[in-house]
Structure 1
Amino acid sequence: TYLLVVQNSDELRATGGFISALGVITLEQGRLANLEFVDSYRLYHEDQSYPPAPPPMNQFMNIPYLLFRDANWSPDFPTTATLLRAIYRQETGVTVDGIVTVDLHALELIVGALAPLPMANAPEALTGANVVDFVKDMWAQPEEGETITEVGLGQWWGQRKNFIPALAEALMAKLRSGRIDYIAVAMAAEQALNERAIQIWLADETAAAQLARLGWDGGLQVRKGADYLSLIDTNMGYNKANAVIERSLAYSVTWPTAPTEPAVATVTITYRHPLTLPNHDCDLTPRYGDDYDDLVERCFFNYVRLYVPNGSRLLSTAGLQEDSVNTTRGEDGTQIFAGYFVLPPGETTHVRVQYQLPATLTPETYQLLIQRQAGSGPLPLQVTVGDGQLRTTLHNNTLLWSVP
């Protein structure tokens, strides 16, 4: 038995997005025997005990304990998958053999490779270009054809994710038909894996090690002896603002004049909310709107984490709420600098974090590995290390760079 975890990257979480639903995959002799989808909100029982939520989720979202839908707090997917597996076992008594994540970008890639994809209730055949819009429309107006305001919140809530199993069945039917471009499908799957739109964790240690070597397990890719940087955003606003949020990152390293002093690193992240909504109130109250766009047209409540090399020491921050700034040990021997901010529509903000790097990093052997967060989209980068400079956009999982 395997879990297919559906993540909505418009509400960004550490491993790619809010866990909207999960598919339970049953295989018999290597063949698909059953695929059943469950709304992630259904995995909750009042009589169960759950692990405590990470302090930031408790502080800024008023979430006291960690349910399945919020359990992808760690950006290291093997760590998150282990927790998801434990919670699912507690809820159902079933121990799964593996967990696979998919996000909206993965859906675009796979549907694009299979297009045109016929599907009931779709006004036209689905393609990579229109499938996300179709999903949003079906969420707001389920297959019965009635909106939230027409049927009431309760009835709509129970129907809002009915499109997921229907879409999965349309995909499986197209695959079973044999009328597909197998090379295009394989290339789309490989691109999704390389870009962390799909991540795979397996309980089998040998298979898991092979996935890790390929970089397809969603794990942190810390490299011994190298500088490391990963920007992790967590949308804490109960909304889909990440659908429009624009991000870019500038990173600089200044070498000391004295050989015994550590280098100083400065990270500046620019966040832009491009929508114009005059007199908009930044209300954190969890609520649905009349349609999907209403969830997008809201303030961006963001908890930002920087994963950096172990031994780094925080010097200063700007652009974060002062009482939210903290530093903790991270997964895979990393150090985390973190904090919280709120970005209203129509505004731009800059988050700046300055810290000392470990003394083991020197100009003579310097390498930098930057890892992009799953689900976060392409990340424009500007890197300055001493006299070396790099401008690029990171699409894949990682970038390894040495100063020329």
Structure 2
Amino acid sequence: MKMKRVLFIGFGSLGLFVGIAGMCGWSGARVFRRIMNNELRVMNGDFKLFKWCISGVPVIGDIENLINGKTYYVLLQNNYELRATGGFMGSYAKISTERGIKEIKIQDIYVPDGQIAGHVEPPYPIQEAFRIGNWWLRDSNWDPDFASAAATVAWFLDQGGEPSADGVVAVNQLVVLQLLKVLGPIEVKDYGKTVTEQNFYSLAQTNAEWGWFPGSSGKRDFLGAVSKEMIEKVKKINLIGLINLIDLMNEQLRRKQVLVWMRDGQLETAIGRLGWGGRLEDEWDKNSDYMYIVESNLGANKANCCVTRLIDQEVSGGDEKVTVTWKNGGDYRHPLPPVFWGGDYRNYVRVVIPSSHNVKAVKMGDRVLRKAGPEDFATANSLRQSMTDDMYVVEPRGELQIIGFWVIVSVGEKVRAEIEYKSVRAGEYKILVKRQPGIEGFDYKLTVDDKVKVDEFVDQDIWIK
């Protein structure tokens, strides 16, 4: 009798849990559709149930505030032209909310750029690469710390005449391809094309670069048409599809192919706790070693279609050496659209390590680079007219430091860089190794005191203990 009672209570509780979960799921799906159609009403029964279901959940628990009178910008980043936060920002989506999504507008990055008045001093590598004497919105996702980069992007958007940003989200092209897997082929009626994960990049680049000039609308119009059809498909998604969509976005947030910044301090703190914020010191305990290699393609091409990298780290006592080998597997030195979009890889690389480490040497192949001094920056960055590929720069960043230098990898070639430094080591060796947004991963080998601890493909941030 006692066993029957236990089973009854157990199955009854399970049934109640499944029932509540089901109601939460269905109410969530209906609320999602109303948000997408700008039809949300806070007194609606579905919304009340959904609000109860998500009460206490970080960030989305404050859904009423998130989707009412706010403006968000989604940066559409092309990771074939890698930048610090994932890729070159060719376009962006402006999302206006008013009790749901009021409007989604796709815009070319060059439109607000053309509205910015005055002079903004550029980081020195951007000036050395492009020699235009100014810093523009299109290159403003420069900082390897996403919170800093996003705040800079928001400032540039404001200067370009856009409404103040309540939040900035960076989405890499890799995510769009995964989204197409979930949604299936997209019929873009305005262009008479069917967009799939296989042809999306080629179609987007063809419309972006053929006959391109500043202010041209080919890329914006095509991405706008694709986005419009994708949004319509999302609006009609069923519960199973919505679950798959949420699972996909959660995975991409975890893998940092989607990064989020919020102007509201409390929301930004919550995002940091979830690991979505892309801050340099996220997840680091400050007592262990740390390594984050950040690349920026400043060659005005899509060379990252064909670039791979291998990282070999050796630790012996307090001596460390990191060797990075890049390979450019492209076939053409200059882009040949629509067949090939790559080219030589002009990469400004930044190696982020703890500030307690003492850099001994930085080498490019057989060349030993010199450490930059004040005399190298005696004049304004905007006046620089040549590439200083014979030096490395050390930038203090709190309890971290950033070592920056040029790496040029021509088509069909391999190039090796080495960084040697002294570290402060106490007890068992531990390290946080970060993977840059925009790349799928890299081959990584760690040898500690002549013993191989790791030899694998790293596709996300990892702790090694």
Whether TM-score is above 0.5 comes out as yes
User: Partners in 1 of 2:73 and 2:138 — Cα distance?
Assistant: 13
CA contact (8 A) 1:112 1:129 kept: no
| Secondary structure of 2:331 counterpart | coil
Letter of the 1:392 counterpart: E
Please identify which structure carries the higher helix content: 2
User: Partners in 1 of 2:122 and 2:291 — Cα distance?
Assistant: 25
2:412 pairs, out of 341, 346, 352, with 346
* 1:218 pairs with 2:278: yes
User: Partners in 1 of 2:416 and 2:151 — Cα distance?
Assistant: 34
Query: Would you say how many aligned residue pairs link Structure 1 and Structure 2?
Result: 370
1:385 aligned residue: 448
Q: Which residues of 2 match residues 130-169 of structure 1 at below 5 A?
A: 130-140=199-209, 148=210, 154=213, 157-169=216-228
* 1:400 pairs with 2:463: yes
2:351 aligned residue: 306
CA contact (8 A) 2:286 2:399 kept: no
1:243 aligned residue: 305
1:258 aligned residue: none
Gap regions ≥5 residues in structure 2:
1-70, 370-387
Letter of the 2:82 counterpart: L
Deviations 1:109-135 (A, max 9, x none): 112111133332677644434433333
Identical counterparts, % of pairs: 22
User: Partners in 2 of 1:24 and 1:42 — Cα distance?
Assistant: 13
* 1:187 pairs with 2:187: no
User: Partners in 2 of 1:159 and 1:88 — Cα distance?
Assistant: 21
Q: Which runs of 4+ in 1 moved over 6 A?
A: none
User: Partners in 2 of 1:307 and 1:313 — Cα distance?
Assistant: 12
Letter of the 2:229 counterpart: A
1:17 pairs, out of 83, 87, 90, with 87
2:262 pairs, out of 184, 202, 209, with 202
CA contact (8 A) 1:227 1:367 kept: yes
Change in Cα spacing, 1:105 to 1:308, as seen in structure 2 (3 Å) is same
Change in Cα spacing, 1:267 to 1:122, as seen in structure 2 (3 Å) is farther
Letter of the 2:395 counterpart: R
CA contact (8 A) 1:247 1:269 kept: yes
Change in Cα spacing, 1:139 to 1:90, as seen in structure 2 (3 Å) is closer
* 1:28 pairs with 2:74: no
CA contact (8 A) 2:113 2:138 kept: no
Letter of the 1:374 counterpart: P
User: Partners in 1 of 2:155 and 2:115 — Cα distance?
Assistant: 17
CA contact (8 A) 1:53 1:63 kept: no
1:252 pairs, out of 300, 314, 335, with 314
User: Partners in 2 of 1:47 and 1:110 — Cα distance?
Assistant: 33
1:273 aligned residue: 328
Q: Residue 326 of structure 1: CA displacement?
A: 2.2
CA contact (8 A) 2:396 2:402 kept: yes
| Secondary structure of 1:60 counterpart | helix
Q: Residue 46 of structure 1: CA displacement?
A: 6.8
CA contact (8 A) 2:356 2:399 kept: no
Q: Which residues of 2 match residues 64-75 of structure 1 at below 5 A?
A: 64-75=133-144
Q: Residue 50 of structure 1: CA displacement?
A: 4.0
Question: Looking at CA atoms only, which structure, 1 or 2, has the larger radius of gyration?
Answer: 2
In the superposition, the TM-score normalised over structure 2's length comes to 0.74
* 1:329 pairs with 2:374: no
CA contact (8 A) 2:115 2:161 kept: no
CA contact (8 A) 1:264 1:355 kept: yes
Q: Residue 93 of structure 1: CA displacement?
A: 5.8
In the superposition, the TM-score normalised over structure 1's length comes to 0.85
Q: Which residues of 2 match residues 112-131 of structure 1 at below 5 A?
A: 112-120=181-189, 125-131=194-200
Change in Cα spacing, 1:241 to 1:155, as seen in structure 2 (3 Å) is closer
User: Partners in 2 of 1:175 and 1:328 — Cα distance?
Assistant: 46
Q: Residue 34 of structure 1: CA displacement?
A: 0.5
Q: Residue 82 of structure 1: CA displacement?
A: 0.9
Q: Residue 178 of structure 1: CA displacement?
A: 2.6
User: Partners in 2 of 1:153 and 1:212 — Cα distance?
Assistant: 38
Deviates more, 1:191-200 or 1:322-331: 322-331
Deviates more, 1:341-350 or 1:230-239: 341-350
User: Partners in 2 of 1:57 and 1:308 — Cα distance?
Assistant: 23
Q: Which residues of 2 match residues 45-84 of structure 1 at below 5 A?
A: 45=114, 48-84=117-153
User: Partners in 2 of 1:70 and 1:276 — Cα distance?
Assistant: 27
Q: Residue 24 of structure 1: CA displacement?
A: 1.0
2:37 aligned residue: none
* 1:375 pairs with 2:427: no
Change in Cα spacing, 1:10 to 1:209, as seen in structure 2 (3 Å) is same
